[in-house]
């Protein structure tokens, strides 16, 4: 069976997913797109030869659409995810599922009414080979308990429409989810430290910032988030355990040595750095949809990350630590 996919919000991320589905992923076909930007509907629909809608409700209701991918802005996700659940269609939603916890609670309520998990959240780092190797060693117990994890999340630049809270709920959310997955623990309290700001970009951003997180058992996690570093997409992670330290290696494939020294290319964006992970996550989702099964991060994972984001956004405007508030896990997600 070929899964017929409707894509909502085919901008940068959405079109990269369409290209993957058309070139290297098996079992799926994008048959329709919708976007609030009419010019984008015209361009993307004609580029890929698919149906185009300006209203996502029409795309979700289209009988030729078996499942939906949502790649619009974070704040627009909630309404469309709930509409997919109510239509009984499986939905892959790019991160953040919702930028705040209330929106995520509304999605979980809709899923519980439907009585089954239909939502997969695009936390793609869980599919990255280097993070997976790191997790396998930590899980094996051979280096003892994890004590500290250091993260660095650096982007060359972000656009002006990137709002002040997105440093936490659009960028830092990657480490928030990855740390929950890597440690197998919830994050219970956070703090934000604010270094000197870069002059190279927008006044409305606290850039860089350091998000400090504590897990249930006391693992201490730091995350330097610097979204206008002017040079590269630079993702680093180092876990310090009782008898060993594991670090993602640099992400270049080769090093070149010559008369000017030793050098390597830098990755410049998420598609370059996490291309393999994106392919694995979307392939796994399409394969599961064809079997009418759920796979990947659930709405609970989207909710748990949003709760940490809410605390992080508060910590950005207040001094001191903020406790993460979460409901007990509903039975559907046990
Ligand atoms: N996993 C990752 O590393 C990445 C994930 N993302 C996520 O993907 C999503 C999209 O990001 P980008 O592609 O970078 O943004 P973008 O701005 O390139 O594309 C977003 C598209 O959604 C459309 N849109 C906005 N609101 C809409 C609505 N209510 N209904 C239909 N269309 C709507 C816009 O017109 C635009 O075409 C975001 O949730 C973002 O956080 C983005 C980049 C990397
Ligand atoms: O998800 C992503 C973007 O939405 C976000 O804005 C960037 O900061 C991240 O590096 C990228 O991976």
| DSSP H or E segment with residue 273 | helix 270-273
Nearest CA to ligand 2 atom 7: 171
Residue 333 included in any domain = no
Q: Which residues lie with the beta carbon below 6 Å from any ligand 1 atom?
A: 8-9, 11-14, 34-37, 40, 56, 71-74, 76, 94-95, 122, 124, 170, 270
Q: How far apart are the first and last CA of the chain?
A: 30
Residue 132 included in any domain = yes
Residues 142 and 231 in one domain: yes
Give the span between the Cα atoms of 243 and 237, in whole angstroms. 17
Nearest CA to ligand 1 atom 3: 270
What's phi and psi for 142, nearest 5 deg? -70, -15
CA angle 286, 105, 310 (to 5 degrees): 105
Low-confidence stretches of the chain (pLDDT beneath 50): none
Q: The dihedral of CA 98, 101, 102, 105: what is its sign?
A: positive
Residues 166 and 223 in one domain: yes
Residue 20 included in any domain = yes
pLDDT at position 61: 98
Residues 168 and 317 in one domain: yes
Count of structural domains within the chain: 2
Tell me which DSSP letter residue 74 carries: G
pLDDT at position 205: 97
pLDDT at position 250: 80
Residues 161 and 186 in one domain: yes
Task: For a ligand 2 pocket test, name from 122, 152, 171 the mutation site with the most ligand atoms within 8 angstroms of its C-beta.
Answer: 171
Residue 161 included in any domain = yes
Residues 102 and 138 in one domain: no
Structure tokens at 320: 């001191």
Residue 229 included in any domain = yes
Residues 63-102 as b or e (16 or more Cβ within 10 Å = b): eebbbbbbbbbbeebbbbbbbbbebebbbbbbbbbbbbbe
Task: For a ligand 2 pocket test, name from 74, 162, 170 the mutation site with the most ligand atoms within 8 angstroms of its C-beta.
Answer: 170
Please state the pTM of the whole predicted model: 0.98
Q: Is 102 helix (H, G, I), strand (E, B) or coil?
A: helix
Q: Is 109 helix (H, G, I), strand (E, B) or coil?
A: helix
Q: The dihedral of CA 285, 94, 192, 247: what is its sign?
A: positive
Residues 15 and 110 in one domain: yes
239: Cα separation from own chain's centroid: 20
User: Is 227 near ligand 2, meaning CB less than 6 Å away?
Assistant: yes
Residues 135 and 263 in one domain: yes
191: Cα separation from own chain's centroid: 21
State which ligand 2 atom lies nearest to the alpha carbon of 13. 4
Task: For a ligand 2 pocket test, name from 14, 152, 155 the mutation site with the most ligand atoms within 8 angstroms of its C-beta.
Answer: 155
State which ligand 1 atom lies nearest to the alpha carbon of 11. 19
Q: Which domain CATH number covers 97?
A: 3.40.50.720
| DSSP H or E segment with residue 136 | helix 129-140
Q: Which domain CATH number covers 252?
A: 3.30.360.10
| Bridge partners (DSSP) listed for residue 212 | 191, 222
Residue pair 154/226 in contact by the 8 Å Cβ criterion = yes
Residues 104-129 as b or e (16 or more Cβ within 10 Å = b): bbbbbebbbebeebbbbbbbbbbbbe
Question: In residues, how long is the chain?
Answer: 334
Residue pair 296/120 in contact by the 8 Å Cβ criterion = yes
CA distances 269 to 4, 245, 276, Å, are 28, 27, 13
Residue 329 included in any domain = no
**What distance in angstroms lies between residue 333's CA and the mean position of ligand 2's atoms?**
27
**Which ligand has the minimum distance to the alpha carbon of residue 81?**
1
Neighbours of 333 (CB within 10 A): 15
pLDDT at position 89: 98
Range of the domain at 55: 3-125+276-298
Residue 328 included in any domain = no
Tell me which DSSP letter residue 184 carries: T
Residues 80 and 193 in one domain: no
């Amino acid at each position: 069976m070929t899964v017929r996919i409707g894509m909502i919000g085919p901008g940068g991320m959405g079109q990269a997913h369409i290209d993957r589905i058309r070139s290297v992923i098996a079992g799926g076909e994008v048959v329709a797109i919708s976007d609030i930007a009419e010019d984008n509907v015209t361009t993307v629909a004609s580029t890929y030869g698919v149906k185009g809608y300006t209203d996502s409700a029409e795309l979700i209701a289209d009988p030729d659409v078996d499942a939906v991918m949502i790649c619009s802005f974070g704040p627009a996700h909630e309404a469309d995810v709930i509409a997919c659940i109510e239509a009984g269609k499986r939905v892959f939603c790019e991160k953040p599922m919702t930028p705040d916890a209330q929106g995520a609670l509304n999605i979980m309520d809709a899923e519980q009414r439907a009585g089954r998990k239909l939502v997969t959240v695009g936390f793609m780092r869980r599919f990255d080979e280097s993070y997976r190797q790191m997790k396998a060693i930590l899980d094996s117990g051979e280096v003892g308990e994890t004590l500290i994890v250091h993260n660095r999340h650096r982007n060359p630049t972000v656009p002006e429409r990137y709002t002040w809270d997105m440093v936490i709920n659009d960028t830092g959310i990657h480490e928030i989810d990855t740390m929950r997955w890597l440690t197998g623990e919830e994050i219970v309290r956070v703090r934000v430290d604010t270094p000197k700001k870069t002059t190279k970009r927008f006044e409305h951003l606290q850039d860089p910032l350091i998000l400090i997180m504590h897990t249930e058992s006391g693992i201490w996690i730091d995350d330097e988030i610097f979204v206008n570093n002017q040079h590269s997409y630079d993702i680093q992670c180092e876990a310090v355990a009782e008898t060993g330290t594991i670090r993602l290696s640099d992400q270049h494939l080769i090093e070149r040595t010559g008369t000017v020294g030793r050098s390597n290319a830098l990755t410049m964006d998420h598609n370059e750095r996490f291309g393999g992970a994106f392919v694995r996550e979307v392939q796994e989702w399409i394969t599961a949809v064809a079997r009418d099964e759920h796979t990947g991060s659930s709405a609970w994972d989207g909710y748990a990350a949003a709760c940490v984001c809410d605390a992080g956004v508060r910590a950005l405007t207040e001094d001191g630590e903020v406790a993460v508030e979460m409901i007990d896990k509903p039975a559907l997600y046990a």
